[in-house]
Copies of this chain bind each other. A is one copy, B any other.
Amino acid sequence: MNETIKLLQNHASIRAFKDEELTEEQINTIVKSAQMAPTSSFLQAYSIIGIRNQEIKEKLSVLAGNQPYVAKNGHFFVFCADFHRHTLGAELENYNEPLALDSTEKFLIGAVDATLAAQNAVIAAESLGLGTVYIGGIRSNIEEVSELLELPKHVIPIVGVAVGFPDQDPGTKPRLPMENVYHQDQYQQNNEILKIQLTSYNEIISEYYNDRTNGVRKDRWTEQTTRMLTSEKRVTLKNFLAQKGYLLK
């Protein structure tokens, strides 16, 4: 097993960081690695906001649902879908119509590009011995987050990533059985088989929580996910996207 595979397979989110900032060199390495990620049709339809300013981090932390590691970390990154520079590019080309950015497809391209860059950044950071955690919570108050970061039209925060010097070692969390996630040639259509796989995974996850909490928690995975999916969250996203030029037609 090579070093990169080891790194990928040993990933765990880190939610406690030492009080130490990333160096400029570390930030540059992480951003350059992010930039070399694949990108749809070479559009490079994303931007990265790197936050060092403690006041902005504190505000973000509140907006993201009071997650302390959004404020306390070595550096905080926000990866955004971004077609703003393409609109400036069109001006440079003397193209005076609005660009065609109204389809769901276009927003998806930006979201995928931002995520590809983010995951490269995470892997680069981890290879430098740093810890990382994704923060979907930056979408919880997306309008306020966008104002705080002064994002123009066509720029949408997709994911945040806190990076820093790890102050914990939580170990990996067992994933779904491979045969539940990986389908050969066509999707496994037999729901009874899929349910049997989920049931055996429930036992693994229950035991995982039991071990880590000395018996306090024993959640099944399907119990967790069902609880989480009984109500919609972040329902302002659609209107926000429309305001920002993505009509999701």
Contacts and interface: CB of A to CB of B under 8 A. Distances in A.
A76 B117 CA distance: 22
Contacts of A139: 105, 108
Interface in A75-120: 83-86, 88-93, 95, 97, 99-106, 108-109, 111-112, 115-116, 118-120
A13 B37 CA distance: 10
Interface stretch (A15-23, A25-33, A66-74, A210-218): A25-33
A237 B92 contact: no
B185 A223 contact: no
A226 B86 contact: yes
Nearest to A173: B42
A105 B232 contact: yes
A165 interface: no
A13 B38 contact: yes
Contacts of A176: 35, 44, 85
Given A32-B9, A111-B111, A89 B181 contact: no
Interface string A192-211: 00110011001000000000
Nearest to A132: B38
A185 B9 contact: no
Contact of A119 (B108, B120, B202, B221): B120
A62 interface: no
Nearest to A180: B85
A233 B103 contact: yes
A115 B115 CA distance: 7
A78 to B, nearest CB: 9
A168 interface: no
Interface of A: 1-5, 7-11, 13, 28-29, 31-33, 35-38, 40-44, 46-53, 56, 83-86, 88-93, 95, 97, 99-106, 108-109, 111-112, 115-116, 118-120, 122-124, 127-128, 132-134, 136, 139, 148-152, 155, 158-159, 172-173, 175-176, 178, 180-187, 189, 191, 194-195, 198-199, 202, 220-226, 228-235, 237-238, 241, 248-249
